[in-house]
Amino acid sequence: MALKELLFKRVESGKGLFAVEIISLIYSALTTVMILFLFPRMDHPGMMMLERLGIVIMTFALILLYQAMPCRLTAFLRMVVQMSLLAYWYPDTYEFNRLFPNLDHLFASAEQFLFHCQPAVEFSKNCPSIWFSEPFHMGYFFYYPMMLIVVLYYFFKRFELFEKISFVLVTSFFIYYLFYIMVPVAGPQFYFPAIGMDKVNACIFPAIGDYFNHNGILLPGPGFDHGFFYNLVEASQEVGERPTAAFPSSHVGISTIVMIMAWRVSKKLAAVLFPFYALLCCATVYIQAHYLIDSITGFISAFLVYWLATTMYKKWFITPAFKLMG
């Protein structure tokens, strides 16, 4: 049986869990074990476990819906719900890493050593006008629309690969999220206000321990503050941003993976998305969400993460299916 026919059969059979649901349940189980170990130190571990139970119940409810009405639309719903839950899993990393000593002082010091300045400060300070601010903020805001465009392209044009790209995308996020849990770095937009710009300007980067366990002040970012996209980014950060997930930059890492996916299915699609991708990568430093080393590492790590997630899909879901067919 050809690979394309096998993938169609996997998605349209309606039997069992989709790959993206399996990896989501694995991540949920791993973080539940972490909650049990850290239970006495966490603010609301009971609620976090109930939320995970709710995600499990919703996952199986969607499976029942699909079995009652098996079609591409309900298959799409099952996979997109798991992707949408990434908005829950991201701030969830903060509940873990804020319990550990913050490491921003090491990254700010490394930035000073490598570049003899703080690029996140110098970039926005030297390019303050609307002609820089608005394009960069537009690129940063385009992070999720870019993902949505590529996901929808696969759904309508290459449905036989839709389960695979859903799995690779969500698994890539989870790989980054597990790293964020273990490596508590908040980024310049949180660390610099915490220590004060007088210290930053004097190249003094003190350790702040568990400061972010009880503080999460996010001041307005740099740029043209009357700009349309500036205010969109500021509004979204006020709602969903936490002092977590700075190293490596998942904005750069995931958007690079999305560009790889776009390139592999349509060179024209990749060409259309590339300007937004380039602006997004620059914006991560411009708006002070990341140190420059975060963004560089995010780009490099994307290729390893993409390879790892793709290999997991092939080993777990494709190879066994071919063996069964043989």
Question: 312 burial class (0-12, 13-18, 19+ CB within 10 angstroms)?
Answer: middle
The Cα 237–Cα 179 span in angstroms is: 21
The mean-pLDDT minimum among 45-49, 68-72, 105-109 falls in: 68-72
Q: Is the pLDDT of residue 7 over 80?
A: no
| pLDDT tens per residue, range 138-164 | 999 999 999 999 999 999 999 989 999
| pLDDT tens per residue, range 114-129 | 999 999 999 999 999 9
Flag whether the pTM goes above 0.75. Answer: yes
Q: Is the pLDDT of residue 320 over 90?
A: no
Q: Is the pLDDT of residue 323 over 70?
A: no
Query: How confident is the prediction for the chain on average, in pLDDT?
Result: 91
Average pLDDT over residues 99-103: 94
Q: Is the pLDDT of residue 325 over 80?
A: no
Question: Which stretch of DSSP H or E encloses residue 167?
Answer: helix 162-182
Alpha helices in 69-161 (DSSP H): 72-84, 86-97, 104-115, 119-126, 130-141, 143-157
Band of residue 215 on the pLDDT scale cut at 50, 70, 90: confident
Average pLDDT over residues 270-299: 97
Q: What CA–CA distances, in Å, run from 40 to 31, 36, 53, 84, 204?
A: 15, 9, 20, 30, 34
Q: Is the dihedral of CA 165, 166, 171, 172 positive or negative?
A: positive
| pLDDT tens per residue, range 158-191 | 998 999 999 999 999 999 999 999 999 999 999 9
Distance of CA 229 to the CA centre of its chain: 20
pLDDT at 219: 77
pLDDT at 318: 81
Alpha helices in 241-291 (DSSP H): 250-265, 267-286
pLDDT at 8: 53
The Cα 226–Cα 70 span in angstroms is: 48
| pLDDT tens per residue, range 21-39 | 999 999 999 999 999 999 9
Contact 306, 258 (CB under 8 A): no
Average pLDDT over residues 51-56: 96
Exposure of 275 in the CB half-sphere (CA atoms within 13 A): 4
Q: What CA–CA distances, in Å, run from 21 to 164, 195, 216?
A: 12, 41, 32
pLDDT at 218: 80
Distance of CA 96 to the CA centre of its chain: 16
pLDDT at 112: 97
pLDDT at 9: 56
Side chain identity, residue 226 = H
Instruction: Provide DSSP, 225-250.
Output: TT-HHHHHHHHHHHHH--S---SS-H
Band of residue 246 on the pLDDT scale cut at 50, 70, 90: very high
Band of residue 12 on the pLDDT scale cut at 50, 70, 90: low
Give Cβ neighbours of residue 234 (< 8 Å, ≥ 6 apart): 220, 221
pLDDT at 225: 86
pLDDT at 3: 47
pLDDT at 239: 79
